[in-house]
Structures are given as C-alpha cells and as structure tokens.
Structure 1
Amino acid sequence: MQHHQVTFHVQPGGTLQGEARVPGDKSISHRSIMLGSLAEGVTRVSGFLQAEDCLSTMKAFQAMGVRIEGPADGCVTIHGVGLHGLQAPAQELYLGNSGTSMRLLSGLLAGQPFDSVLTGDPSLSKRPMKRVTDPLRQMGAHIDTTEKGTSPLRIHGGTPLKGIHYDMPVASAQVKSCLLLAGLYAEGRTSVREPAPTRDHTERMLRGFGYAVQREGEVVSLASGGRLTACDVDVPSDISSAAFFMVGAAIAPGADVTLQHVGINPTRTGVIDILRLMGADIEILNAREAGGEPVADIRIRASHLRGIEIPEALVPLAIDEFPVLFVAAACAEGETRLTGAEELRVKESDRIQVMADGLRVLGVDATPTPDGMLLRGGPMAGGEVESHGDHRIAMAFSIAGLRAQGPITIRDCANVNTSFPTFVEIARRLGLSIESDGRPSA
C-alpha cells in the first residue's frame, strides 16, 4: 500500500449548514464481517464503512475461504462458513493500519486448528499487542511477537484453549472483544471484568447473531459450544465521524447541522455529554433501534462554548473524539482540563502531543500533561500543522478552520481514507472551505 502525500488546505471562516449521513460505524462494520463469516447462513450488511481498515478485515476472511460479495454502496453479502469453517490462509494476513482487526483477529485465530501470521503497516507494527497476547497465553494460546510485544503476531493453531476469568488492567473494548472471540473456541466459560465501561458492540452483535452473552455488573462472559446464525445488519453512522461536524456546528457562527442515523450506543456518547457540559446546543431526534444498536438523528446549532474540567468518567466514552474536542476547547471561553486519558498517547499517534503541537502552531495556549491536556480558549491563527499520518488529527485541524483567522495547511492526510473516505466531500457540502491535493493510491 503506497500512499502519495495528501495535504489538506482549509480557508478560514464560513459556517456549516444542512443534513448529512456520515459513513458507517467502523467498530460495527469490522464485527459484522467477523461474525457474519463465522455464522451459519447468509448475512447481509448495509451501511458498511467502505474504508481501508474494514476492507482489511474483509480481505483477511476472504483469504480464509469466506465468500464475500461487495462492498457496493455500503452493502456486503457474507456467505458464512460456521464457527469451524475457516481455512488456513495461504499467506500472511496483512491488516494495514487497523488495530481493531489485529487485536480481534488474534483472539479468533488463537482457537483455530491452523497457523496464521498477522502483519500491518509501520504504524500498526509499533502499537502495543501484549495487552491481548498476555491474556490469550493464559488461555493456552501459542503466539509469538517481536521482543517489544508488537506485530507480526505468529499464531500457532491447534492448541486447545481454556476459558479464563480476566481482570482487565486497563479498560479496552478491543481486549475484551479479543477474549470473547477466543472464548467461542475455549473449553468452558470465558469472563472479562472491565475497570470502566467500554464499547459493547461485540456483545450486542453476538446476541444479534443468536449467541448467549451474560453480563453481571462489570463482568461479561460467554461459554463455548454455541453457534452463530446469519442475520441482517444495518450499520449506524459512526459517532466518531459525526463528532467532527458536531464540533464544527457548535463553534461556527450561524451553524445548523443535522446528522442522520448516528449510532448513540451509551458506551460511545461521551462526546455529546462533554459538548453539552461546555454549553453546546445538541438535540437528539427520532431515536430508534437498528440491529440491536440505538440510533438517532442529531441536530447541532452554533453556541457559545465554555471551558470545563472534563469528568474522568466520560473519558473512555469519548476516547476517539478528543482530537476534535481539543479544537472545541480552543474555541471555548476559559480553561478546559482533561485528565485520565493516558490511553491517547498510544493511538495512531500520540494524540496528546500531536494535538498540543498543532494547536500551539495556531497560537492556542495548550499544555500537554502525562494523562491529558490543559487548554485555554482564545483566537486561533492560521498555520501549517502535521497530522503525523493520524486521520483523526487531520480531520480535527480541518474543522479548526471554521474559527481560524488564516488558512490552515495540514500535512500527511492520506490516512483519512482509513476511517472517513468521504470527509472532504461532506465537509465541503456542509460549507467548510477545504481542498485536498495529492491523490492516495491504494
């Protein structure tokens, strides 16, 4: 996968108005392919996110003998092979930039009768994998990593797994999901305790495919020996993608934006709660359910934002939205303080440092701390910022243009395609003055 350099150029000012349906939720799109592949029967997915990360998951299952048609207009048809129907891949499974694919597949593949190797791009190859390989080894899995505990992951199949009870040291939906997927193949019961609530898309979708998952307080568990039955999945719009336009509408004078069919799973709505605490005008309309997941239309209008102390309980519920929430804080009156977010330092980039560096270029008073940031709102200048190949950083600084006093140039934006390929198009349609030069080549 060679990428040309992609640079975003944003002209200052303007506002956002209109309606948009942002692309499908990444977490749910990944899981629809995984569970659809392991189900019995044909699963039809609509609203699937046609982005590189989710396509990496799709290619991995195709390489293991699953027939998958699409994606065409967000529709994918998966001919499930059942829990024990995967075949040994002929070569390494390359997962690009997708941490979700690597961490979830490591659990699923630990229980297969065949060997497999998981690799990724240079960024993914730096991301910590011990958080999944350690508990998987406790279950009896045989997985080799580099000395640093990073990928390539070499998984030796044919080793019987035993269900364990695992107390997660750090709240992580990816670790929880990895262990539940391994638990489908482990003797007895597998249970995971979460120190704080994390995304529950895996549990919801397992139930949607007819597999029993128990939750008691902080512990989620399942037993092996069940089966998955094919079903239809209508993927909600990704609230993490919607968040860019939620913040944009909150900070741009005269803005009024409605985002349609957005997933409002309570484990993901921290961004709504935080923006409301800052004084944002957010209305939840037409709330309904789609495939076990709550969805709604979200209307956001321009408002006067105030700085806040972000409650630590909301941090895990908004972890992917902090790059753009930092932009909201930069446009708010007074001081915003984030603590308890050290996880941000091991994302696609060190999101605390990279956002602080970029905001300082734009003249914002931003002080990084080990587990968060201290921001003082004030005027924003233009300037040239580095996204360090991190899609969420690139999109956050694009939105900053709505309140900047000069043009913003954002370098290294090719990875926006990993999560939100239509970002520039939707942003322009709603009123952001943004140009992208350099075309990524897949």
Structure 2
Amino acid sequence: MDMIVTPTGKLNGEIQALSSKNYTTRYLLVSALSEGTSTILYPAHSEDGEAMRRCIRDLGAVVEEDSEKIVITGFGRNPHPTKELDVGNAGAVLRFIMSIAALLPEVNFINAYPESLGKRPHDDLIVALESMGVEIEHTNGRLPMTIKGGNPRGGKIKVSGHVSSQFLSSLLFLTPLLDEDSEIEVLHDLKSKVVIGQTLEVLAQAGIVIEASEDLMHYKIPGKQKYKAQTYTVQGDYPGSAAILAAAAVTESDVVVHRLMEESKQGERAVVDVLRAMNVPLTHENGVVHVKGNGRLTAVEFDGDEFTDGVLAMVAAAVFAEGTSRFYNVENLRYKECDRITDYLAELRKAGARVEEKKDEIIVHGRPEGVEGGVEIDAHYDHRVIMALTVVGLRSAAPIRIKDAHHVAKSYPIYFDHLKALGAKVEWVD
C-alpha cells in the first residue's frame, strides 16, 4: 500500500517509544541459545522480530507470547535440523542466524526479497565461517545460500568490519558455544562500533564471558560456555523514534516521547544531540524527550557512523535547516535494504530537496522555506527511507505519495498510527 503525506503545520501529543528492534532480536537469539526458559518483557513487534521468531522456532525453540512478553525455551548448542530458513527481508537476522546454522549439517536460506535483501553482500562473514571449516554455497556472496556445517572450529578467526558490524556480532554469538577457545581479529575498519556494544551488553546479560580490546578490534572468547536463561526487559527504540523527533523538529510542535533512556547504548541516542545542535528546543530527562519545535533549524556536521539508523531522519530534518549540513563516515548506509545514499537522495531530489553525495558523505543544502513536493516517491522497500521521506512530506508545499509504505512494518508497524495521533495528515491508499 502507498501513503499520502499531506503538509502538516503542527504536531502535538505524547507517545510511548516503540521497543527496540535491535535489542529484541538479540534477546530472542540468546534466549534460543540457552538451555532453559527465558522471558522477554515488552518486545518489539516488527517484521525483523517476526523473522527471528520464525527462524528460532524452525531451529527448535519453543516460543510462546502475549501482548507484554515472549517466553522462550531454548535449544542451546543443539538446534534441530531444518532444511530451509526464511529470514524475510531482515539482514541482521540472516547474518546472525548464518553462524548458528553452521552448527547443522545443511541449511538453505531462501531469497524471498531479491530486490532488497537479495542484493546485499555477506562475503566477509562467509569468508570467516569458511575459515572455521564451514562449507557455504552462495551466489556471489548473496542469497540464495546453503550452509553445510555441523562442527565449526574455534581458534584464530579474522573478519572484516568494513561493510557491517553484523558479521562480527554473528561470530560473537556462535564462538562461546564451540569446543575450542577463540580469538577474533577485526580487519580493516569496524563500522557501527556502538552496535557491537549492544551485542556485548546482551551477551554479558546472558552470562557469556568475552574479553574485548578497548578499540573493539580484538576479542578472546572461552569455548564450552553456556547461555543462561534470563528475564530481559527491552528498552525504547531510538532509531524509530528518530523520525518522530525529526517530524516534531521541522513543524510547530509540542511532542513528548517516553521510554528513551539517557544512558542507552544505542548509538542513535545521538539524534538528540544532533537536534540540539540544530537549535531545536527540546529537553531529555528521566527517559522523556520533549520537543517544542518552531520549524526553525540550523545546519550541522556529524559523524554518521555513531548513529547509523538515525542518519536518514536527521538528513530529512536538515533539508529544512538554514545553511549546509554534512553527515560523513556513512558509507555503510550503501549496504542496507537499499543504497541509503544514492537511492534516498534521488527521492529527496524529486521532492525538491537540494542534496549531494560523495562515497561516504551526505551533504544537504537546506531550504528553510520548504520543498515543493507534489510527487510520487519510491522508498525502495526500505523502512528507514519510508520514515524519513514522511518527515519531508510534512513540510512540502503539496502532498507526496510514498510507494509501498507498508514496508515500514519491518521495524515500526505503528509508525503512521503514532504520527496520526500527533496530528499528522497521513492516509493509506491502494
């Protein structure tokens, strides 16, 4: 379905931040890797979460849930044999499960989204797993893929962190279960280090011991560890909330978002700092962000690698800032559900934004007067692009139509419900 976003001058109201997708998927996985029963309180409900639940069920976990919690009885180091796994369009789920699938004789990952996830590369994780004795049949590093494992070896492992930190996270979930101790060396650069911090936090909560170097480029992991069954509480989600906060920033607003911890390890908490630097009137106290927007913003420069999943929303806000904004060190945005630099900026230009790209930068020449809009936009099946383009539509002179906007459900199924509750003029159309 498509979404019509009509210019909206004012937003007002309070919402509860959605629960974190990143933490929910990690808690689901470590619960499945335990041998007891774990409880996850306030889990995120998203397509990514559904994909992880589907995969761990197929691998033998017992998953029971109601409106407030998920109860999981895990399979430990012994996932049940399954011939096929469907991760939907969830790249992180695919990459995390690839390592766990190495414990099985043979698993085929299907390619359900050839135009999105099917285009994303996984070569760096494939190379690392092959060095551990795992045989992988793949299509130029992409889906469809068949993993033939059964007895992966620990020891000295190298993995590139240049494209994504998800490859490293995947190995960190697997290696504690192996018979041998392991050492992981990260080659080249490591993108999204803050997200590795989330992985390490969740592993520690699950009772796993890992020694990480201060720069997060070297790891020592004792083998023969066991994941402990625990109760986990999922915190509010900054990546999804980034778009809500950006929408409040570019309009006349009085918007309150609850459940956003000040001390969260989510790198996207930096979007609050970005908006402050744009001179957006806001406070952040006791887990509550309160924006009293006036629609007037100033340009900024930020290292986008610190808050990867919040960059697109901040770029949308910068479209209306006075001056030229620059978001640098963002090349890894090219390897997401779509090329979040080239593809996203092409759609922004259709709406009237003045933007330019470099290999690892997004440059925005602000238009405080607003943009023309009045166009149909292709969001490339990407939930982050959908949310960010909606922000632009709120300050367009004419409505914009976002094609296939239902893919926002990948991370934030009630995004448009929340916006409508705050007064945004948004309407689903066939």
When normalised by structure 2's length, the TM-score is 0.91
Question: What corresponds to 1:53 in structure 2?
Answer: 48
Looking at structure 2, the residues matched to 163 and 27 of structure 1 have their Cα atoms a distance apart, in angstroms, of 28
Which of 129, 132, 138 aligns to 2:131? It is 138
Question: What corresponds to 1:273 in structure 2?
Answer: 273
Quickly say closer, same or farther: Cα 1:192–1:323, change in 2 above 3 A: same
The answer as to 2:110 corresponding to 1:119 is yes
Question: What corresponds to 2:311 in structure 1?
Answer: 322
Tell whether the 8 Å contact from 1:47 to 1:237 is kept in structure 2 after alignment: no
Q: Secondary structure of the residue that 1:351 maps to in structure 2?
A: coil
Worse-matched range after superposition: 154-163 or 55-64: 154-163
Q: Secondary structure of the residue that 2:268 maps to in structure 1?
A: coil
The answer as to 2:322 corresponding to 1:333 is yes
Tell whether the 8 Å contact from 1:337 to 1:373 is kept in structure 2 after alignment: yes
Shift of 1:51: 1.4
Query: Residues 54-113 of structure 1: CA distance to partner in whole angstroms, max 9, x if unpaired?
Result: 11111111112211012x32421101232x231101x31011100011111111222x14
Worse-matched range after superposition: 361-370 or 192-201: 192-201
Looking at structure 2, the residues matched to 394 and 411 of structure 1 have their Cα atoms a distance apart, in angstroms, of 9
| Pairing of 1:408-419 with structure 2 (within 5 A) | 408-419=400-411
Tell whether the 8 Å contact from 2:208 to 2:227 is kept in structure 1 after alignment: yes
Shift of 1:242: 0.4
The answer as to 2:75 corresponding to 1:85 is no
Which of 1, 5, 13 aligns to 2:8? It is 13
1:261 partner amino acid: R
Shift of 1:152: 1.9
Query: Residues 364-389 of structure 1: CA distance to partner in whole angstroms, max 9, x if unpaired?
Result: 21122222222111121122211111
Tell whether the 8 Å contact from 1:330 to 1:377 is kept in structure 2 after alignment: yes
1:344 partner amino acid: L
1:7 partner amino acid: D
Tell whether the 8 Å contact from 2:164 to 2:332 is kept in structure 1 after alignment: no
Looking at structure 2, the residues matched to 404 and 347 of structure 1 have their Cα atoms a distance apart, in angstroms, of 27
Worse-matched range after superposition: 219-228 or 125-134: 219-228
Query: Residues 270-300 of structure 1: CA distance to partner in whole angstroms, max 9, x if unpaired?
Result: 32232222222332211xxxxxxxxx22222
Give the superposed CA RMSD.
1.8
- Residue correspondences, number: 415
Worse-matched range after superposition: 215-224 or 34-43: 215-224
Tell whether the 8 Å contact from 2:238 to 2:266 is kept in structure 1 after alignment: no
Looking at structure 1, the residues matched to 395 and 388 of structure 2 have their Cα atoms a distance apart, in angstroms, of 12
Question: What corresponds to 1:291 in structure 2?
Answer: none
| Pairing of 1:186-335 with structure 2 (within 5 A) | 186=178, 187-193=180-186, 195=190, 197-199=193-195, 200-218=197-215, 219-253=218-252, 255-262=253-260, 264-265=264-265, 267-286=267-286, 296-303=287-294, 304-310=296-302, 312=303, 315-335=304-324
Tell whether the 8 Å contact from 1:23 to 1:47 is kept in structure 2 after alignment: no
Q: Secondary structure of the residue that 1:8 maps to in structure 2?
A: strand
Quickly say closer, same or farther: Cα 1:281–1:172, change in 2 above 3 A: farther
Shift of 1:358: 1.9
Looking at structure 2, the residues matched to 270 and 139 of structure 1 have their Cα atoms a distance apart, in angstroms, of 37
> Percent identity over the alignment?
26
Looking at structure 2, the residues matched to 430 and 392 of structure 1 have their Cα atoms a distance apart, in angstroms, of 20
1:372 partner amino acid: E
The answer as to 2:369 corresponding to 1:369 is no
2:4 partner amino acid: H
Looking at structure 2, the residues matched to 61 and 257 of structure 1 have their Cα atoms a distance apart, in angstroms, of 38
Worse-matched range after superposition: 164-173 or 130-139: 164-173
What are the ranges of 5 or more consecutive residues in structure 2 without an aligned counterpart? none
Looking at structure 1, the residues matched to 210 and 13 of structure 2 have their Cα atoms a distance apart, in angstroms, of 40
Shift of 1:398: 1.3
Q: Secondary structure of the residue that 1:317 maps to in structure 2?
A: helix
When normalised by structure 1's length, the TM-score is 0.89
Quickly say closer, same or farther: Cα 1:23–1:221, change in 2 above 3 A: farther
Tell whether the 8 Å contact from 1:142 to 1:159 is kept in structure 2 after alignment: no
What are the ranges of 5 or more consecutive residues in structure 1 without an aligned counterpart? 1-5, 287-295
Shift of 1:339: 2.6
